[in-house]
């Protein structure tokens, strides 16, 4: 029900009364859906002030630097839960009991393998295919392998597909990596937890045993948690828009992967490492910072500030601690990591950065961690997609179960008015 009314006055038209809705927390939303019948649209390029849906999953307060999953602060979840517990929370609305968690983990563990035909699918890609290209294509193709549960109106079918995707995504991500470096893929190991299993499939070989570091496995788990969901971002909105057509869930998640691939979205942590490579040496950091402050210089510091967060990115606090743990565990002497640490120090102390609140964000630290672990640049966004799959599925399930209308944005048309066709010899 509406919590109030707003009046829209347009010159030359009768005032329009619009419903105002109030969420649990956050800003009020003015319902403009009735404007179409009045010959009026709203325009909001980039949808910065438009709520595209009603959701109970994630809430962000950019000004306060708050990120809540089902009401729980992200730092509490990252420091106390594991990734599959967060998956359960996003999908079901509540944290699992001990029994529910065990059952959920068991289901995931038993469905990590993919069909051998899916594995063979990777052989059709060029040796140098980008892992995101492979992942996007293979996930879309899963609907041809698992078409026994594609009735999206059936809650049981939706649950089966959800569990299949969460279970198999690490396996497919690791297969994409192995194909890109010419190594054989490894079968998942059911004795390992979710994140340790992923690292095993990434870095293990058939030639020798591979022992997964608990510190690195926990760091990877935190990366998955911190990327699990982020409200109505570009890729999540893409999944919901594709899902509103009734498309099968594999196609919807593939559309999210495609949207995430963009450098302005999932490619941000990749851009951080490229920036560090461009700076080249710790001695160049101060001059790079001066260039970043110069509005006429095209150089930009990547991994600082955030479109949504006007304060410190709450995920970055957790990621910074994890970054320190990983670097201490590995004892790496990497010139790029020295550059990153110097940049971090400047951003936290320099008046220019503090005044503009250009704090290091989650992409800054996650890029450093992934590089330290040994994950190549072209796999960064794949890992983002792996973690975000649970959020995409939670939003897709929420949208389908509430029978949302098909998405159909409007536009402000600025092209030619109606005109008559002239034959080619008269033009």
3-class SS of residue 29: strand
Q: Is 69 a catalytic residue?
A: no
Q: Is 265 a catalytic residue?
A: yes
Of 111, 130, 265, 350, the catalytic one is 265
Q: Is 147 a catalytic residue?
A: no
Of 69, 227, 306, 395, the catalytic one is 306
Of 82, 227, 363, 395, the catalytic one is 363
Indicate which residues carry an active-site annotation: 265, 306, 363
């Amino acid at each position: 029900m509406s919590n109030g009314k707003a009046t829209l006055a347009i010159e030359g038209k009768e005032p329009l009364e619009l419903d105002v809705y109030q969420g649990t927390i956050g800003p009020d939303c003015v319902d403009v859906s009735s404007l179409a019948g009045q010959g009026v649209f709203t325009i909001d390029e980039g949808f910065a002030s438009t709520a595209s849906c009603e959701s109970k999953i994630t809430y962000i307060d950019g000004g306060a630097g708050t990120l809540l999953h089902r009401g729980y602060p992200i730092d509490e979840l990252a420091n106390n839960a594991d990734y599959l517990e967060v998956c359960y929370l996003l999908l079901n609305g509540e944290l699992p009991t001990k029994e529910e968690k065990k059952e959920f983990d068991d289901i995931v563990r038993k469905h990590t393998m993919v069909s051998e035909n899916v594995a063979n699918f990777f052989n059709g890609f060029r040796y140098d295919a980008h892992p995101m290209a492979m992942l996007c294509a293979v996930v879309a193709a899963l609907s041809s392998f698992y078409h026994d549960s594609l009735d999206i109106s059936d809650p049981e079918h939706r649950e089966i597909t959800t569990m299949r995707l969460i279970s198999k995504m690490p396996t497919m991500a690791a297969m994409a990596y192995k194909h890109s470096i010419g190594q054989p893929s490894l079968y998942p190991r059911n004795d390992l937890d979710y994140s340790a299993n992923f690292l095993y499939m990434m870095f293990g070989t058939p030639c020798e045993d591979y022992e997964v570091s608990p510190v690195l496995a926990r760091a990877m788990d935190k990366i998955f948690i911190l990327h699990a969901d982020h409200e109505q971002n570009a890729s999540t909105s893409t999944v919901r828009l594709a899902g509103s057509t009734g498309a099968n869930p594999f196609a919807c998640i593939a559309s999210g992967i495609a949207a995430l691939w963009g450098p302005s979205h999932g490619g941000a942590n990749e851009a951080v490492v490229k920036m560090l490579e461009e700076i080249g040496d710790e001695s160049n950091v101060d001059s790079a910072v001066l260039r970043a402050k110069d509005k006429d210089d095209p150089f930009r510091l990547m991994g600082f500030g955030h479109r949504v967060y006007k304060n410190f990115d709450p995920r970055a606090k957790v990621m910074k601690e994890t970054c320190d743990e990983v670097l201490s565990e590995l004892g790496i002497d990497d010139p790029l990591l020295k550059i990153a640490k110097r940049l971090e120090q400047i951003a936290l102390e320099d008046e220019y950065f503090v005044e503009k609140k250009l704090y290091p964000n989650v992409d800054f630290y996650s890029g450093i961690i992934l590089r330290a672990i040994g994950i190549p640049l072209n796999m960064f966004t794949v890992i983002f997609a792996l973690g975000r799959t649970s959020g995409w599925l939670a939003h897709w399930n929420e949208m389908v179960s509430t029978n949302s209308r098909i998405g159909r944005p409007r536009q402000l048309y600025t092209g030619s008015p109606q005109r008559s066709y002239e034959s080619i010899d008269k033009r």
